[in-house]
Amino acid sequence: MIIPKEKLLSAEQLHEVTAIVEEFGCRIQEIVGAHRNIYAILGDERHELMFNRLIGLPYVARVDHIESSYRLLDKDSELANQRLVLAGVPLGEEPLFIAGPCTVDPNNPELTLETAFAVKEAGAQMLRGGVWKPRTMPYSYQGNHTALDILLEAREATGLPLVVEVMDEEQLKIALAAKVDVLQIGTRNALNYSLLKAVGRLSAPTDSWVLLKRGRHMAGADEFLAAAEYLAVEGNPRILLCPRGTTPKLEGYRNHPDESITPLLKERTWAPVVCDPSHSTGRAAYVPAATLAAIAYGADGLAIEANVDPRKGIGDDPKQALDPDTLRSTIVRSRALWDLMRH
Ligand code: PEP
Ligand code: MN
């Protein structure tokens, strides 16, 4: 939809915009308005270059998108009809709880193994754990692939499917070879299009899902969905969208909590939303309420950092992981709120 700066386009200007849209297989329909004429673009109007060329014309005030630029993630896409079941949970019908340590300590396998049993007992259906870690400082612990073996043992022992972050193609290949159930793309790589393409392409022929975190610099809903579109275009539509807080942070929190973006996402896409209240708030004391808020906002699931002994964790756990009892009561309350909202 082209909105001209003046009341209407001159014959010459109309000729120029028509020539541009025709290059992209579209045509122009002039709509006469009381104060200003507008020019609808008929056809597939999602070509970015066509938009760029129209926006660049000096007599054009604005060009609005009517159709979304994320074709596969859009609510109107065919993919909206898939029934999504992960870890035995029919998404949208029951809440999904993912829990586990921030970082798996390769020198303390017992801590992760005990935590795996504890989160299962507390009601989680999936186990999360960081093998390779994106750390702000190069001096912090960066992760180690040997930690993956501990998670594989935990999966074997508990039956809980795994969520593991990958940051590059080498890690991706190791994770896929280990049949990691959900590949996490962290907030720092949320807009790393080469990685998104590689994850989409290489996971397409497997059963692995992808949990895509929201870009931390306040990535808007459309940017978030466009990033997810990369995964789907490459062949993997098994996607979970994960709001995890943004920066600048809200004073007192680790980030600016963003569970509230859930209804906006759900209005635009069929993809399930799994919120991460641990990173959004950054403090264990705030996680239970943020979890309930996410459920109230309509999230399909939660990814929560938890540890049998948060003080012994080597990543974010000492500040933000829930102990098993708090995790259990949070899950019980979340399920009650889920039911309350649907009956
Ligand atoms: C994590 O899940 O531990 C993590 C590092 O996530 P994020 O990318 O949201 O910071
Ligand atoms: Mn963490």
CATH assignment of 2-63? Answer: 3.30.70
pLDDT at 343: 82
Asked if omega into 248 is within 30° of 0 (cis), the reply is yes
Mean pLDDT by 10 residues, the chain (343 residues): 95 97 93 87 88 96 86 92 95 98 98 98 98 94 95 98 98 98 98 97 97 94 96 96 97 97 97 98 98 98 98 96 98 98 89
CA atoms within 13 A on the CB side of 335: 11
What are the residue ranges spanned by the domains of the chain?
Answer: 2-63, 78-342
Question: Of the bound ligands, which one is closest to the alpha carbon of residue 134?
Answer: 1
pLDDT at 132: 98
pLDDT at 15: 97
pLDDT at 289: 98
- Give the predicted TM-score (pTM) of the model: 0.92
Q: Which residue is closest in CA terms to ligand 1's atom 8?
A: 186
Q: Which residue is closest in CA terms to ligand 1's atom 4?
A: 186
78-342 has which fold? TIM Barrel (3.20.20)
Tell me which residues have their CB within 5 A of the ion that is ligand 2: 102, 316
Q: Find all residues with CB under 8 Å of 56, minimum gap 6, and list them.
A: none
Output the CA angle 185-191-196, nearest 5 degrees: 55
Same topology, domains 2-63 and 78-342? Answer is no
Please give the full DSSP string across 213-262, using - where no structure is assigned.
EPPTTT--HHHHHHHHHHHHHTT---EEEE---BSSPPTTSSSB--GGGH
d(CA 276, CA 245): 8
Measured from CB, residues less than 6 Å from any atom of ligand 1 are 102, 130, 134, 186-188, 213, 244, 276, 279
Q: Which residue is closest in CA terms to ligand 1's atom 3?
A: 102
